[in-house]
Structure 1
Amino acid sequence: MKVLIRGACLLALLSFVLMSCQTEKNAGKYPVTVGDIEFDEKLDDPAFKKCNPEKLMSFQYYQGSKGFDYKGEKSAILEKLEKEKISSENKVNGYITVRFLVNCEGKTGLFRVQQMNAELKEAVLDKELENRLLRFAKSLDGWIPKEIKGFKVGYYQYLTYKIENGKVSEVLP
């Protein structure tokens, strides 16, 4: 009987250790915070640096801010977009979102793009229009570093372009 109990205890202990090791393996493949953008050597500039990489935390665009953290506010972006005259020959409708990280120097990187149709379902509207809007977002150089409790921090920002009949009709947020 003692042999059976010892065997069961040993088996339970071994199972726990194996599960614990498996959990540690899986922990490394998930971001620290939901929504974190992981560096991808095929997409990202290796010279772009996150703020305080040892803390592994970046904020969202709405944290620690009273307004749009861009020199000239959102209207400056809209003016620049108007001058660029970015549109598509295809009369598509939907949304193209460009999400990125602004570091504590106001520099941007880790750009990611998502397209959705007018029903908010993932779809490819127009790849060339996506590329133009991505280049436009990368060209914006007036991002203001955020300060929270006296420390400059990095933050995630996004620009969602509402597309109607192939033209940008609105920029969110």
Structure 2
Amino acid sequence: MRNLIGFILLLPLFINCQAEKNRISKYPAQIGDIVFDENVDEAEFKKCWPQDLSFQYYNDSKGVQYLGEKIKIERELKTLNLRDTNSSNGYITIRFVVNCAGKTGMFRIQEMNQNYEKFTFDKKFTHDILEFSKKLNAWIPKEYLGVKINYYQYLTFKIENGKVSEILP
């Protein structure tokens, strides 16, 4: 009898736990999380365990973790001589995930003018900057407590008179 009363008292708790498992949130776990989109993301790119956890760029003070550092990225970009046909000014930010093997994926683009307002550059120019970012293949995997992790990285291309004048951060 005592076990039956205990079971009846605990039954709502078990039912509530099951309901929580079936609920899918429309919100990401962290602000700014990139959610896999089969329409734009490459299916072969895989996040490492834990898949739903990626460290943000501000979780590490080491800056850009690229073999040859940011200067190598800038030198590679300079050889392409990319130009916006409209001689626009502003910023193009490419944000992506680097997994535990140093592979990249889940690229997202944000464009804005010099006043930080939404803006659209020439499509070919933006596409060329995105493709350049995707081809960068010397990202250094990061570790946290001895475990290699996924992390977000971003590159902001400052555009002046239609040309990249600087890469941030």
TM-score, length-normalised on structure 1?
0.81
The 8 Å contact of residues 64 and 148 in structure 1, kept in 2 or not, is answered as no
Number of residues of Structure 1 aligned to a counterpart in Structure 2: 153
Of residues 141, 164, 171 in structure 1, which corresponds to 2:160?
Answer: 164
1:101-129 CA distance string (max 9 Å, x none): 00000000000001101110011122111
Q: Specify the alignment match of 2:133 in structure 1.
A: 137
Please list, as runs of the form range in 1=range in 2, the aligned pairs for 1:8-23 lying within 5 A after superposition.
Answer: none
The one-letter code matched in structure 2 to 1:110 is: M
Q: Specify the alignment match of 1:40 in structure 2.
A: 37
Distance 2:79 2:72 in 1: 11
The 8 Å contact of residues 85 and 162 in structure 2, kept in 1 or not, is answered as yes
Of residues 13, 17, 30 in structure 1, which corresponds to 2:27?
Answer: 30
Distance 1:116 1:169 in 2: 15
Q: Structure 1 regions of 5+ residues with no counterpart? A: 1-22
1:26-60 CA distance string (max 9 Å, x none): 75211111111011111000110011145x11001
1:4-28 CA distance string (max 9 Å, x none): xxxxxxxxxxxxxxxxxxx988752
Q: Percent identity?
A: 53
Distance 1:98 1:145 in 2: 18
Q: 1:64 to 1:119 in 2, by over 3 A?
A: closer
RMSD value over aligned CA atoms? 2.1
The 8 Å contact of residues 84 and 121 in structure 2, kept in 1 or not, is answered as no
Q: Specify the alignment match of 2:10 in structure 1.
A: none
Q: 1:102 to 1:86 in 2, by over 3 A?
A: same
Q: Specify the alignment match of 1:155 in structure 2.
A: 151
Q: Structure 2 regions of 5+ residues with no counterpart? A: 1-19
Of residues 47, 51, 56 in structure 1, which corresponds to 2:48?
Answer: 51
Distance 2:50 2:96 in 1: 16
